[in-house]
Copies of this chain bind each other. A is one copy, B any other.
Amino acid sequence: MPSHQLCHPHITRLRLIGGLLWLLVAGLTCFGNFAAASAGGDPLPSWSDGASKQAIVNFVEKVTTEGSPGFVPKNRRIATFDNDGTLWAEQPVYFQLIYALDQIKKLAPQHPEWKTEEPFASALKGDLDTLAASGKQGLMKLIAATHADMTADEFSDNVSQWLKTARHPKSNRPYNEMVYQPMLELLDYLRANGFKTFIVSGGGIDFLRVFAEQTYGIPPEQVVGSSLKAEYEVRDGKPEILKRAEINLINDKAGKPVGIHQHIGQRPIFAAGNSDGDFEMLEWSTAGQGPRFGLLLHHTDGKREWAYDRESHIGRLEKGLDQAKERGWIVIDMQRDWGQIFPDATN
């Protein structure tokens, strides 16, 4: 541990003799103390004081304290976060589904047959119940029409364009205002303590990568998601990645540990989710040796956000609630544990 002596006011009475080297050591030493003091201010101001917040801080202190039995070296400090319902709102409907429906509307003039063909007819009418009834086959048709048979660059451009004007159907806010302020703080806090933070989402990897860096500070190579098969092709002299209408990985439920293994190649020591789609990710992560942290966000705040768990079609949380205690996972009660939910101070 750096000595605090060097930062004491007495320093002002010292003459510098050693020059560069001393200055370097002292500057860095003070910087270390300064950063620690700053972090000590409260790295998680949107989290209400209580057992949940304390558990997070205790865990981070344990794994970052050199010489302690719980110490974890930096290159093993892997933290994974689900996206929908964990980092941003997923109610009343996934943002990516809104994207798909908007794309269908945009493409409809070129497809007059969609007026009577499912799932497109329901998609155009915004009839989500009938759309859901079209099942996996219907969903694949929707994905094929809106996410595939185009280059990766074309897809990214489409999503970027859409995000500029996309609004949440209930709050009418832009997508990046529907993220959870406490989770942004948690991501920052973990990174400031040497963690590498990843998104591990059931959502599409190419969709997530368009906004993950700007929104969460998570670069494209740290995003794991569901994916379509891709091919490399040189088209008119221009190399392109083509997205095919064929599933490569469904990164949900038991697919999450598989996605983690393929993309990250090591077991996270911290995993956060909010639904039973995250159960296996938490199970896989927290079954490893040494200190582990499993976090389940329980949506309990019907006033400021949405209250849902066991009966919800989106983000159903049942198995996780039943087993969290015996597995040592921390269940965050959104109403109790979060003083603020969205980034602006008005909510």
Contact = CB atoms under 8 A, between A and B. Distances in A.
A112 interface: no
A258 B232 contact: yes
Contacts of A70: none
Contact of A262 (B28, B205, B254): B205
Interface stretch (A55-63, A93-101, A220-228, A305-313): A220-228
A231 to B, nearest CB: 7
A12 to B, nearest CB: 5
A109 interface: no
A265 B220 contact: yes
A302 interface: no
A333 interface: no
Contacts of A24: 27, 30-31, 34
A234 B16 CA distance: 62
Interface range for A: 35 or more
Interface in A177-234: 196, 198, 205-206, 209, 213, 219-223, 227, 230-234
A232 B254 contact: yes
Contacts of A255: 232
A7 interface: yes
A2 to B, nearest CB: 12
A16 B11 contact: yes
A89 to B, nearest CB: 24
Contacts of A239: 257, 280, 283-284, 287
Contact of A227 (B34, B220, B262): B262
Given A12-B16, A205-B262, A221-B264, A257 B241 contact: yes
Given A34-B20, A227-B262, A265-B209, A238 B287 contact: yes
Contacts of A152: 261
Interface in A3-60: 7, 9, 11-12, 14-17, 19-20, 23-28, 30-31, 34
A263 interface: yes
A23 B30 contact: yes
Chain B CB within 10 Å, residue with most, of A205, A220, A283? A220
A248 interface: yes
A266 interface: yes
Nearest to A31: B24
Given A11-B23, A27-B23, A232 B220 contact: no
A208 B28 CA distance: 36
A284 B241 CA distance: 9
A171 interface: no
Contact of A232 (B26, B209, B257, B264): B257
Given A7-B23, A12-B16, A232-B255, 17 more contacts: A7-B20, A11-B23, A14-B16, A16-B16, A75-B219, A78-B221, A220-B266, A221-B222, A230-B261, A231-B254, A232-B258, A232-B280, A234-B283, A239-B280, A239-B284, A239-B287, A241-B284
14 contacts: A7-B19, A11-B20, A15-B15, A24-B30, A24-B31, A24-B34, A205-B262, A209-B265, A221-B264, A227-B262, A230-B261, A231-B254, A232-B256, A239-B284
Which 6 A-B residue pairings sit nearest by Cβ, starting from the closest?
A27-B27, A220-B265, A232-B254, A232-B257, A221-B264, A241-B261
